[in-house]
Structure 1
Amino acid sequence: MISRVIAMQRLVLLSLAILAKFSFGNPLSTDDALASFSLESEDLRVELVAAEPDIVDPVALCFDRKGRLYVVESRGYPHPVRGELPKAKLGRIARLEDADGDGRFEKRTEFARGLTFPNGIMPWKKGFFVTDAPDLLYLEDVDGDGVADKREVVLTGFFTNSSSEQLRVASPTLGPDGWIYLTSGLAGGKVISPKHPERPPVEARKNDWRFHPETLVVESLPSTGQVGQAFDREGRRFVCDNRKPLRWAVFGPGALEKNPNLSGVPPMMDLAEAGLATPLFPLAPDTTAASYIPKLMQKPHAGSFTSSCGLCFFTGDALPRHRGSFFICEPAQNLVHCRSIVETKDKFSSKASSEGREFLASPDQWFRPVFAANGPDGALYLCDMYRKYIDHPNYLPPEAAASLDFEAGKKRGRIWRVSSRREAKPAPWHKSKGVALAIDKALKGGGLSELAVLAGESGSNQWFRAALFSSFPGRARELVEQFPDSASPALLEQSAKILTKEQPAGKMPSVIHELWDKKKGWGFAQRVAFLLGLPENLRKPYQQEIQPKALAVSLDVKLPVSDRLSAIRLLVLSTRSKLLVLLRPSEPDEIREAAIRSLASTNDPVLGKKL
């Protein structure tokens, strides 16, 4: 025990020493910055690819076919005037080459300049698509001198009136369908192509976009991402934004509109919960914006995602254990986080690649990773803006913003390469066998009978239910008839709601009666759920029949909480007074809250006094 205490004291002293050296005051040299990195495992190594003065303020990168590195530089960040573009266009794109083959890209050519706030780049044919709101540009070096002498506005009309240049169209990424996808930056637009003036503008508020690179047809998407997106091996698209590090954009254009009776469906599925449910382990002092905002000081963001960006699905072999994982940059807390997919029959989620520490973190407050990408050598490449403060001053109280030096680091920037020293067989690719596969089958219009069977396993997942009902509009009754008797209560409740909208009002009593008799294998939970999905007038003839059982289930502490909650919802007014016993402290919070709501809805003054 004493030895453990001594070891902990030494660890604390070591941590304080590291913080004293790395975290405060002046920026570090590239050698000291490299020495400051804490890595997930001993086999990992970080190497410097490029640094100031060869690059400044890197925010995105890509490689061309010859292995040359193109780096987007947002030199004008931050611009403090809300919704107004600066007069000086400081943004640039640098072409870097490793002239001597030592791994350092030291030869710089100014590929493009005069950009406003460029934030994304993607190779296309002989040139590159570049996001620079309000425009999407195509840049190409025609004469081979390394400088873009062809500059075309491909699309325009992306909004720039948001609170800062962090919120702009970004992240051009080629999808498996041949379309190029753009994140909205949580901003909207009235987008047109100058090459096609005959087409009307496509309008959206905060939606992501996609366009066809040949026809320049543009569409808005149901999803909203900020900076960073990625496709996995099975063609699923993922985005991120600030507090939400990994989100599956489940539905494409028009998918949710196929069934007019389907409503309230979130277009994205979070694979990692926001807040402290997905903990981070930063080493640097807390400089998150929440720490400067009085109303958020009691709910600190440090130790949880607050600036997630630069999402990358890793496909390289130079980090064999991490192939098929997602890398997420968290610049506000000076770290890079790694997550892998976890899938069951009814849940699609993720887990951190290690417990209690990050893939890469630094106590150096200036380390600001904002973008991650696959390299042609199979390694992971990181853009490090290297700023003392990374949050935009518009998001801080004026007195706090005035006290911080947002100019510190404006002439700095680094690119890092991460790989493993250990040769190992790459991790196997994740192959969906659970709910994600079921959702994909539903979206692609699988057979009704097959999907009804899958619903027995995946019906508790709301995105599967949405995919199922969107693929079979007007056929809720057929689905209910073919669902297995053990179908999820959530599935049956939603089925009843949609069935009520699909069927003529005069036919509903007979439809319910037929289903009620036909589905004799339904358990109590299934019958309760189906009734809860019906309007009160249609539910009433069956509700009284099962009141005794509903009350018994409500009060039975041995049963699952979900079953008891459904039973409480089904109780009629005359029975609810019996729920007073559920207010005892030993009951789960959800049960007590449900009982209070049920009792309060009676409007009984006697019960009110007892409450």
Structure 2
Amino acid sequence: MKYAVACYALIAFAGSCKNSARESTHPDSLAIRKSIAEAPQLSPEESIKKMHIEDGFAVKLVASEPLVTAPVAMSWDDKGRIWVVDMQDYMPDTVGTGEDQPTGKVVILADTNGDGVMDKSNIFLDSLVLPRAICLIENGILVAEPPKLWYYDIVDDKPVNKRLIDSAYAEGGNVEHQPNGLFRALDNWIYNAKSAKRYRKEGDRWLIERTHFRGQWGITQDAYGRLFYNTNSENLLGDYFSPGLGAENKNQKSVAGYVTKVVDDNRVYPVRPTPGVNRGYMEGVLDDSLRLVNFTAACGPVIYKGNAFGDAYQGNAFVAEPSANLIKRNIITDKGYIINGEEAYKNKEFLASEDERFRPVNLSNGPDGALYVVDMYRGIIQHKTYLTPYLKNEIKERSLTQPLNCGRIYKIVPENKTLQPVQFTDNTAQLVQLLQHPNGWVRSKAQQLLIDKKDKSATVPLRQLLQNTAQPLPLIHALWTMEGLGVLGDSDVMPLLKQNDWTIRMQALSVLPSVINKSNYAQYASELEQMANSNDTLAAPYIAFLTHDIQPYNAGRAKQLLLTLTEKYPDNVYVADAIISNLQDKEAAYYAEIRKKEPDTSLVINKRLSKVIADIAKAKNNSNVEKLAKLYPKGATIFRSLCQTCHGTDGNGVTALAPPLNGSNWVQGDKNRLIPIVLYGLTGPVTVAGKTYKAPEISGDMPGIGANKEFTDKDIAQVLSYVRNAWNNKAEKITAADVSAIREKYKDRQKTFTMEELNGIH
């Protein structure tokens, strides 16, 4: 029951049908196949020759099979080695035979002769089932192997002392809809895509906290620590504010400035026909030359922070699209705390390949300033759960299943320019010096190594960097390095709160949750009050978020700060949502209080509070799901694996993915309109309970599961009966015979339904 075509984008799905449900002029995959050449396996050198790269750049091979096979993620260590996650067990054929076999692994790649090409591969971990992410930290590594997250100490490049960090890291959801990323961010927390959890190592203890639910496959950050990610059909989403703020109110389904569309345009420009996409039979998915029109597998984004490409590329967002065999470049700009982006080119891409098996699934900055590309290199990238008969036939007719033992890592570099990776040492003074390096990846790695060393002798030189306000980026890294070492003091932070440079002031505000305590909260509260009263509009949302950290020590003062902001910014959605983030279970009382002063219900603060209060009312009957799970066990299991990651565990929908099931007229209404949605999918806008949902608020397409032989009509009937009676829903049971009747009625149908079509069913 997902409204979004899932992109565990490595798995990149070729599967989104966007806004048109008309039949393609090409009636079947065979007709399309005859119009293009087959897709032979190419050597890395041959594949590079098929790549069209922006003028002035070149693609260089870094690693290939047999050193890596089916790579999906990579991470650099301080020795210049690449740690790679190989997911060789993903989709061995169109029915996923053997996908549960322990063939996945984590390997360490090394360049022993210094020529820039990895020539040695050491297996660090093997016998893994669908591993998906890693993170190097201290003398160990986090490894995500669903559903668990493990931590291993590293001794002589061998794993020892295996420890369970989170038994439910990737609980629920299928392979396309599970957390990934394990991205170690500027604020010293580890964030994930497709997840609302963040992690932090504190001595021998691991902290796990709630954060905003973000993205699908891949996550990155800019120079100021703001996170960026995407869904399969959305070019780029991101946060306007520091990632650790504003997720405190569990009643608040979305917070303005988080999970925000950064780039509006989702157009892509392949250089070859791309018929091998899940909805390629539908008009509007492919153009007249059989090339993909819009993103259907956006994934693995990276904000370029290297020093090799030139100033025009600094802070650009690069996004992989494996179903169209390309990498897009977006130019990002700031205006205050608002972030906007646009595609760098029209009618072309930064990199696009004629090789159909080129599947870029992740992108990374590197120690030499190059942009690194993880290429899964294979034919099948659509998971069996959503595989349409059209694409299954395409795979068969064009021999796309084999081989499965390929994988490449490339780097993109300026032409005729030799890049040298930075060499790291264990010397604390030299690591502090590297915080000033022009390569943002180097600055981040130096920060992490300093924190991992726990060497507090770094405090004095770090504090010196805080004094150089003319150089914001080294200052920012010094600030967060001190935070990570636990040596940051009030005398370090207070002067930064008074800086005119917004980038510095923003970081000082962002670090406050780490330093506010019982003994110093009053001076920080005074500073925040002064900033609020001085009409610091850029700081206003941050001040509202930070009231949460004043509240435990002086609830009255915290509330007065919220009231001041409410009075000053009643029509600012970012301030309004930041205020509400402090009000868990107090929303109605606060609404009643401010209505006495601000009775206008059209004010943003009043509208946003009203919505949260309405969402709370919807969630009151959520306890009935346990009873329903016993009544419909298979239905509950399918809901957890297929539906909840987009529609939410409470059925109230997830921003950028899917609309609510709770209270939905489609779920509770005519079963003859509901069953076709699940069997064949739904495309385009949909009106639920009087509200019309369309992209980017939700994904443009929900795939059907009727073609998946894994689910019987009885299974589908169970999940439908489950959601029709979960939460506040109440509707008649659906039987296997009901599902079979609809399947028979539309037995020759491939295309998804539109809302207009469904409304015509009587």
TM-score where L is the length of structure 1: 0.64
1:30 Cα deviation from its structure 2 partner: 1.9
The structure 2 residue matched to 1:25, chosen from 39, 55, 59, is 39
Q: Structure 1 481/268 Cα, relative in aligned 2: closer, same or farther at 3 Å?
A: closer
Q: Matched residue of 2:270: which SS?
A: coil
Q: Structure 1 110/270 Cα, relative in aligned 2: closer, same or farther at 3 Å?
A: same
Q: Matched residue of 1:401: which SS?
A: helix
Stretches of structure 2 that go unaligned for 5 or more consecutive residues are 1-32, 420-436, 441-470, 477-499, 513-524, 550-557, 609-691, 693-762
Q: Structure 1 251/68 Cα, relative in aligned 2: closer, same or farther at 3 Å?
A: closer
* Residue 368 (1) aligns with residue 368 (2): no
Cα distance in 2 for partners of 1:49, 1:115 equals 24
Between the two proteins, the alignment pairs up a number of residues equal to 470
Q: Matched residue of 2:48: which SS?
A: helix
* Residue 218 (1) aligns with residue 185 (2): no
Relative contact order: is structure 1 or structure 2 higher (C-alpha 8 Å, sep ≥ 6)?
2
Q: Partner letter of residue 387 of structure 2?
A: L
The structure 2 residue matched to 1:447, chosen from 528, 550, 573, is 528
Q: Partner letter of residue 230 of structure 2?
A: C
Question: C-alpha deviations, 1:467-522, integer Å up to 9, x for none?
Answer: 59978645565336556xxx96878999999999666969966x459xxxxxxxxx
Cα distance in 2 for partners of 1:109, 1:89 equals 18
Q: Structure 1 359/430 Cα, relative in aligned 2: closer, same or farther at 3 Å?
A: farther
* Residue 318 (1) aligns with residue 404 (2): no
Q: Tell me the C-alpha RMSD between the 2 structures.
A: 4.7
8 A contact 1:259–1:469 mirrored in 2? no
8 A contact 2:365–2:372 mirrored in 1? yes
* Corresponding position of 1:291: 279
8 A contact 1:496–1:534 mirrored in 2? no
1:289 Cα deviation from its structure 2 partner: 3.8
Stretches of structure 1 that go unaligned for 5 or more consecutive residues are 1-18, 186-205, 514-526, 536-596, 598-611
Cα distance in 2 for partners of 1:305, 1:359 equals 15
* Residue 351 (1) aligns with residue 342 (2): yes
1:223 Cα deviation from its structure 2 partner: 2.1
Q: Partner letter of residue 59 of structure 1?
A: V
* Residue 182 (1) aligns with residue 192 (2): yes
1:319 Cα deviation from its structure 2 partner: 2.2
Q: Structure 1 129/468 Cα, relative in aligned 2: closer, same or farther at 3 Å?
A: closer
8 A contact 1:111–1:148 mirrored in 2? yes
Q: Partner letter of residue 478 of structure 1?
A: T
Q: Partner letter of residue 407 of structure 1?
A: T
* Corresponding position of 1:94: 107
Task: From the CA coordinates, give the structure whose radius of gyration is larger.
Answer: 1
* Corresponding position of 1:168: 178
Q: Matched residue of 2:363: which SS?
A: strand
Q: Partner letter of residue 136 of structure 1?
A: L
Q: Structure 1 528/228 Cα, relative in aligned 2: closer, same or farther at 3 Å?
A: closer
Question: C-alpha deviations, 1:507-552, integer Å up to 9, x for none?
Answer: 966x459xxxxxxxxxxxxx996599599xxxxxxxxxxxxxxxxx
* Residue 131 (1) aligns with residue 121 (2): no
Q: Partner letter of residue 235 of structure 2?
A: P
Q: Partner letter of residue 323 of structure 2?
A: A
Q: Partner letter of residue 479 of structure 1?
A: L
* Corresponding position of 1:303: 293
Cα distance in 1 for partners of 2:369, 2:593 equals 64
Q: Structure 1 297/64 Cα, relative in aligned 2: closer, same or farther at 3 Å?
A: closer
The structure 2 residue matched to 1:48, chosen from 61, 64, 70, is 61
The structure 1 residue matched to 2:410, chosen from 401, 407, 416, is 416
Map 1:430-509 onto structure 2 (within 5 A): 447-448=528-529, 450-451=531-532, 467=545, 473=559, 475=561, 477-479=563-565, 482=568
1:234 Cα deviation from its structure 2 partner: 1.5
The structure 2 residue matched to 1:157, chosen from 168, 183, 187, is 168
* Residue 209 (1) aligns with residue 198 (2): yes
Question: C-alpha deviations, 1:108-166, integer Å up to 9, x for none?
Answer: 22222101111222222333222211122234552x3x554554433322345423x23
Q: Structure 1 389/491 Cα, relative in aligned 2: closer, same or farther at 3 Å?
A: closer
8 A contact 1:212–1:218 mirrored in 2? no
Cα distance in 2 for partners of 1:151, 1:401 equals 40
Q: Matched residue of 1:272: which SS?
A: strand
1:68 Cα deviation from its structure 2 partner: 2.0
TM-score where L is the length of structure 2: 0.52
Q: Structure 1 307/473 Cα, relative in aligned 2: closer, same or farther at 3 Å?
A: farther
Cα distance in 1 for partners of 2:62, 2:529 equals 53
1:450 Cα deviation from its structure 2 partner: 3.1
Cα distance in 2 for partners of 1:147, 1:232 equals 33
8 A contact 1:256–1:470 mirrored in 2? no
Cα distance in 2 for partners of 1:421, 1:454 equals 49
Q: Partner letter of residue 404 of structure 2?
A: K
* Corresponding position of 1:35: 49
Structure 1 range deviating more: 247-256 or 363-372: 247-256
1:419 Cα deviation from its structure 2 partner: 1.0
Q: Structure 1 84/216 Cα, relative in aligned 2: closer, same or farther at 3 Å?
A: farther
